[in-house]
Structure 1
Amino acid sequence: MTIKLLAVGDLHLGRRPPRLPEHLSARIDDFSPATAWERVIALALRERVQAVLLAGDVAESTQDYFEALPRLQAGAARLSRAGIQLLAVSGNHDVDILPRLIDEVPDARLLGAGGEWESVGIAGDASGNPEEVTVWGWSFPALRVNESPILTLPANLGPAPRLGLLHCDRDQSQSTYAPVTSEQLRNTGFDAWLLGHIHQPDALGTDQAMGYLGSVVGLDAGEPGPRGPWLLEIRDGRIQRLEQRPLAPLRWERLDVDITGVTAGAAVTTAISRRLEALATDLTQGVDWPDLVGLRIRLVGECDLTREAMEAELPDSGRAMGLPGTGQIQWFLERLRIDTRPTIPLSRLAERDDQPGLLARRLLSLERAQDDPERRELLGAAERHLASGTADSRWRQLPGEDPDAECIAEWLRERGQDALRAMLAQEAD
């Protein structure tokens, strides 16, 4: 007999995806965590799991009470009618709101309220040989938790197999979000630790069942890759299956497109199209497909085309288009980054005693180690210029309100390459 569980990482009900094409703004809920939650419920029903486990940060914030409550009530009721338990622990985002929500959701249970470890036994189907798994959970008692919750785990842990459900910050000793160490988790002897808090999922499997589940939906373009819940199967006292089901309606991806040797803008389009076809093949391998993919495309390689020539053939960032090779997945360009080098090596250009030569030398300095004096001097000058308030409009294209040194270095390298390509193009004319 098999016990099936569905483990869900950071859900963040109440969040909306940013930077969608304008014409999709009316459908923003279709790509939100709320839609992902509906898909989680549908999957739990199809797979006939015994329980759904929520690893904290179920809601984005206290202000999202009225958004999260009906979603949780409806989902829990559907699960309850099918005999499926809904168990949750609170994280740092929902430390105040989740206990209040669970009080209004009679078909759900909060584990480890107030920072006190609590366990529940989950049994398989009544037919066949009896099988049971013990799930231990701990919930944030306050917004900040400086000590490891593992230190208060009871000595008597009950029958195996045992699973831990925890929202925490792993291997970050100075964290105020329930810091734990990998060694502490391993020393518990649990069969699995299902963790929330970090949105990037770990590479979990039957041979590595301790790690982060990840967010159920990538909450912005900085969270690329597959997102979704994890299906566990336990049989004969062991985890026999642990796999991610990437059912997020919106997926973010980053594509590097090599355009080495390209001499016309149309060829850039062809190169991007080939990468899109490969992405479509990858996304349609399984049964869970996204509805929409937001792409950050980076053009790389050795190419003398100017930025204007490269961008002329590309779609506008405000459009959503069908992904080649699929009939139902759309994609849009969230951001384009041009990171190509001239066909003449920078080291050769740097030997010249002119403007292209000076620019090539500065670009080479940006590629050196972070503690290189020349690199530090160049970045220091850029930071002072930015802080002076006299920087022109081009500097306002820097991402973020307070970019760090590496962000500035990346932006300088990209803009420097643009300028160098333009200089070399003028020479060719």
Structure 2
Amino acid sequence: MTSLKFIHAADLHLDSPFAGLRHLPVNVIDRLKESTFASFANLISYTIKERADFLIIAGDLFDGENRSLKAQLRLKREFEKLDRAGIEVFVIHGNHDHMGGRWLQVEWPESVHVFSHEAVECIPFLKAGEPAAHLYGYSYPERSVTQNLTSSYIKKEGAPFHIGLLHGSAEGGNEEHDVYSPFTIQDLEKTGFDYWALGHIHKRSVLPSPVTSIVYPGNLQGRHRKETGEKGCYCVSINEEGVKTDFIPLCDVIWEELFVNLNEAQTAGRLMELCREAKEQLRIGGRPAVLSIQLTGETPMAADLKQNDAVKDIMSVLNEEEEEREDFVWVGKITDHTVLQMDRERLRQDSVFYRDFFRITETYQSFAEAASPLFSHASVRKHLSEFTEEEQLEMIREAENLVLTELLREGELHK
């Protein structure tokens, strides 16, 4: 029975500039700048350890179209390790590293197969001298490829397994990325392929299909606070019985967001203890991390946290503890969502003002009218969609808390 084991990765973005982080200490910024290369080295080591038949990289190996010589030479060095181990590599280029850029040419080992940018190409993989799989792929000739390419992925008989490589956007999928090479799940199912190795979307997901396996591995290394959680690749086993996928975390630095609840916190000392506990919770993994903290809950400190530079001071103290550590947990952002500790029912009973205030916030129906000036500006409208009911309620609650906090700060609630 023929079987295959291969590794599927995408969106390496080697040599990402990590712009806007110059304020960080040297040890942190150096580790972040090296993290895309380190995570790729982890990928190569894992592929060799697993004795995989081949490695698939589904686009955006480099962060820019004019790829640096440094990035190419580092990539070549890792590919040569696979070549010595007898492991082949199948590569497509995406919108970031399309074939229309300019760069000094570096030759890859013969075991590295780069798919054509002129048309969808089929490349066979041989195992023990026999065809074991046909792989189909297409490299972007330019940055913007907006047509649906799936009709050009035509199954070619002569191998037991068929694997498609595509850098593109699923219809109705992730809206944080520009739409390139759009497709539907039904488009991919029609090809009759066993596995679709996707790239472009940085959040890993397995798209639902009873017919074929459709997988986004996400990017290999998070690069900012919106790319949180474990990043890595998929190890894929395929035989006549079906396809098995296992996610393997490989990132060198992890970006994470944690919530710190201040319901039980009465003092700044306790607040710092809770933040330190959050840091240590993340440090247990052993890897350096960049952490965003969301302060939540009801606390008497809410009014003070919203004044002056309180949050900045907290972040500064927390980060002073990390400057010399290799396993740093650097706090990149603290967002304050705390609200005042208050007895709303008592306020309703004691004051006509608060009774009317809460009635208005709880039954507010004029959100669309209030937001209409915002959507009247074309430059703003193109970046916004209509707010959902949940988003509207959240903004109303935030406005309510801001008003109450200001009233407490001025002593109005104590009258």
In structure 2, the CA distance between the partners of 1:28 and 1:360, relative to structure 1 (3 Å rule), is farther
- Please give the per-residue CA displacement for 1:40-77, whole angstroms capped at 9, x wherever unaligned: 12222222222111100111112323232112211111
> Is 2:5 the counterpart of 1:8?
no
- Alignment-derived partner of residue 33 in structure 1: 36
Matches of 2:104 and 2:89, distance apart in 1 = 13
Secondary structure in 1 matching 2:160: coil
Task: Describe the SS at the equivalent of 2:265.
Answer: coil
Distance 1:414 1:93, change over 3 A: same
Q: Structure 2 vs 1, CA of residues 196 and 381 (structure 1 numbering), >3 Å: closer, same or farther?
A: same
Q: Secondary structure at the match of 1:115?
A: coil
State how 1:385-424 maps to structure 2 within 5 Å.
417-418=401-402, 420-424=404-408
CA–CA separation in structure 2 for the residues paired with 1:155 and 1:233: 20
1:223-262 mapped onto 2 (5 Å cutoff): 223-235=227-239, 238-240=242-244, 242-262=245-265
Quote the offset at 1:246 in angstroms.
Answer: 1.4
Alignment correspondent of 1:23:
25
Bigger CA drift: 309-318 or 251-260?
A: 309-318
Separation in 1, partners of 2:165, 2:395: 41
TM-score (norm 2): 0.78
Cα distance in structure 2, aligned partners of 1:307 and 1:404: 32
Quote the offset at 1:99 in angstroms.
10
| CA–CA separation in structure 2 for the residues paired with 1:151 and 1:350 | 64
1:55 corresponds to which residue?
58
CA deviation profile, 1:374-425 (whole Å, cap 9, x unmatched): 223444567899x9xxxxxxxxxxxxxx888869987896576355324325
Quote the residue 1:164 is aligned against.
Answer: 164
Distance 2:32 2:296 in 1: 35
Residue type of the partner of 1:336? Answer: I
Structure 2 gap segments, 5+ residues each = none
| Equivalent AA in structure 2 for residue 142 of structure 1 | E
Match of 2:4, as an amino acid? I
How far residue 237 of structure 1 moved from its aligned partner, in angstroms, is: 5.7
- CA separation of 1:100/1:137 partners in 2, compared to 1, >3 Å: closer, same or farther? farther
CA distances 1:121-143 after superposition (whole Å, capped 9, x unpaired): 2427x8xxx78233222222333
Please give the root-mean-square deviation of Cα atoms over the aligned residues, in Å: 4.2
Residue identity matched to 2:232: G
Q: Is 1:220 the equivalent of 2:224?
A: yes
1:341 is aligned with what amino acid? Answer: V
For 1:266 and 1:318, locate their aligned partners in 2 and report how far apart those are by CA, in whole Å: 12
Aligned length: 394
Are residues 237 and 261 of structure 1, via their aligned partners in 2, closer, same or farther at CA, if it must alter by over 3 Å? closer
The amino acid across from 2:9 in the alignment is V
Identify which range, 98-107 or 251-260, moves more after superposition: 98-107
Does residue 114 (structure 1) correspond to residue 118 (structure 2)? The answer is yes
Asked whether the equivalents of residues 72 and 106 of structure 2 are also in contact (C-alpha less than 8 Å), the reply is no
- Give the 3-state SS of the residue equivalent to 2:222 in structure 1: coil
Change (3 A) 1:364 1:345: farther
2:66 is paired with a residue whose SS is: helix
Q: Does 1:375 align with 2:367?
A: yes
Q: Give the 3 Å change call, closer, same or farther, for CA 423–176 of structure 1 in structure 2.
A: closer
SS at match of 2:231: coil
Q: 1:180 deviation in Å?
A: 0.5
Query: Displacement, 1:271?
Result: 3.2
Determine if the alignment matches structure 1 residue 308 to structure 2 residue 300: no
- Residue pair 1:172, 1:179 contacting (<8 A) in 2 also: no
Please give the alpha-carbon distance, in whole angstroms, between the structure 1 residues aligned to 2:291 and 2:57. Answer: 29
**Partner Cα distance (1:182, 1:204) in 2:** 8
SS in 2 for 1:215: coil
Change in CA separation of 1:41 and 1:404 when aligned onto 2, cut-off 3 Å: same
Check whether the contact 1:55–1:167 (CA below 8 A) recurs between aligned residues: yes
5+ residue gaps, structure 1: 388-401
Distance 1:380 1:342, change over 3 A: farther
Aligned pairs (5 A) from 1:361-372: 372=365
Partner letter of residue 49 of structure 2? R
**Larger mean Cα displacement after TM superposition, 169-178 or 265-274:** 169-178
Instruction: State which drifts further: 204-213 or 4-13.
Output: 204-213
Q: How does 1:243-282 map to 2 (within 5 A)?
A: 243-280=246-283
Counting aligned pairs with the same residue, the percent is 21
Q: Check conservation: 2:254, 2:289, Cα contact below 8 A.
A: yes
Kindly state the Cα deviation for residue 19 of structure 1 after the two structures are TM-superposed: 5.4
Amino acid of the structure 1 residue aligned with 2:10:
G
Task: Report what 1:394 is aligned to.
Answer: none
CA distance in 1, matches of 2:318, 2:275: 17
- For 1:82 and 1:338, locate their aligned partners in 2 and report how far apart those are by CA, in whole Å: 51
TM-score by length of 1: 0.76
Structure 1 residues 244 and 362, CA, compared in 2 at 3 Å: closer, same or farther?
farther
CA distance in 1, matches of 2:356, 2:123: 66
**In 2, are the aligned partners of 1:3 and 1:131 still within 8 Å (CA)?**
no
